[in-house]
Amino acid sequence: MSKMFRFLIFTFMLVFAGRALAQEAPDWTNPFPPYRIIGNIYYVGSQGLASYLITTPQGNILINSNLEKSVPMIRESIEKLGFRFSDTKILLISHAHWDHCAGSAAIKELTGAKYMVMDADVPAIEDGGKLNFGRDTKFSDSGVSQYQPAKVDRVLHDGDQVKLGDTVLTAHLTPGHTKGTTTWTMKVADGGKTYNVVIVGSPNVNPGYKLVNNALYPQIASDYERMFRVLKSLPCDVFLGAHGNYYGMEAKYARMKAGEPNPFIDPEGYKIYVAEREQTFRAELAKQTAAVQ
């Protein structure tokens, strides 16, 4: 085999592996009807990728820009609800993975929204996600951008508040899945009552994540521990997250359509979910710890 041929094969493998790490699930691009979840919070995502529009008299906040090709779909969902895409003043994300942030550059450009991102996820957002610290494989530093880089307008720190109109969102650092994974909380008024809303960033250990001896992210396991402590400490009535499957979005939507009391008010479901995810994390950590001993 010639040197040139080997070089070409190697380059192809690097690029291919970089892409293979980021595979689209079919439900990510399936449209989903937009709807009001509760109070001033609306669902404007696809079947598999959650996006939330929070409306205020001073303009709107959008959480998660999803894939680049999701942007026209998000826009259409916002307009179907009777709001203006151009009223999007603030753009937030759950974490710096392409399925939640690849559309951000386009949304900033189209709406002029200010992009606010948790400090530890800012480098990934601004270089297009070249590194994937969780995995720590030989391909994780292949330099393949996963999405168009976007400039962050405000760097957030744990506990920072994002205010617009009468809405106050709090950014909770819940790291592990990425270094800056953010869980958003807010209070929402509906039917004369006030509810605590939690939008979970991600508690998941993805396939290939290295929890032990991870040179790119040495504190990954203790970050997951910290994240579970934070999630367990948050008061939650309305349980939401970065993917609908965290909280059974589709089934709850169907129950809402059938006229049931708001199924998104689910404090028990939140506790069960967090406990189950923590157990899964601990099992994976034990397995990886045993494998290196």
What is the torsion angle, in degrees rounded to the nearest 10, for the CA atoms of residue 137, residue 142, residue 145 and residue 149? 90
**What residues make contact with Zn ion under the rule CB under 5 A?**
97
- State the nearest-atom distance from the C-beta of 24 to Zn ion, in Å: 13
The residue (of 18 and 263) whose beta carbon lies closer to Zn ion is: 18
Nearest residue by C-beta to Zn ion? 97
For residue 69, count other CB atoms closer than 10 A to its CB.
14
Q: What is the residue-wise DSSP string for 242-270? A: SSGGGTTHHHHHHHHHTT-S-TTB-HHHH
Q: What minimum distance in Å lies between the beta carbon of 87 and Zn ion?
A: 28
Q: Which is nearer to Zn ion, 29 or 196 (CB)?
A: 29
Side-chain half-sphere CA neighbours of 193 within 13 A: 9
CA distance 285 to 86: 45
- As a whole number of angstroms, the distance between CA 152 and CA 203 comes to 24
Q: Rounded to an integer, what distance in angstroms lies between the CA atom of residue 149 and that of residue 186?
A: 28
Of 50 and 164, nearer to Zn ion (C-beta) is 50
Pick the closer one to Zn ion by CB: 75 or 97.
97
Q: How far is the CB of 96 from Zn ion (least distance, A)?
A: 8
Closest distance of CB 180 from Zn ion, Å: 11
Shortest spacing between CB 169 and Zn ion, in angstroms: 20
Query: Residue 284: helix, strand or coil by DSSP?
Result: helix
Q: Which is nearer to Zn ion, 97 or 172 (CB)?
A: 97
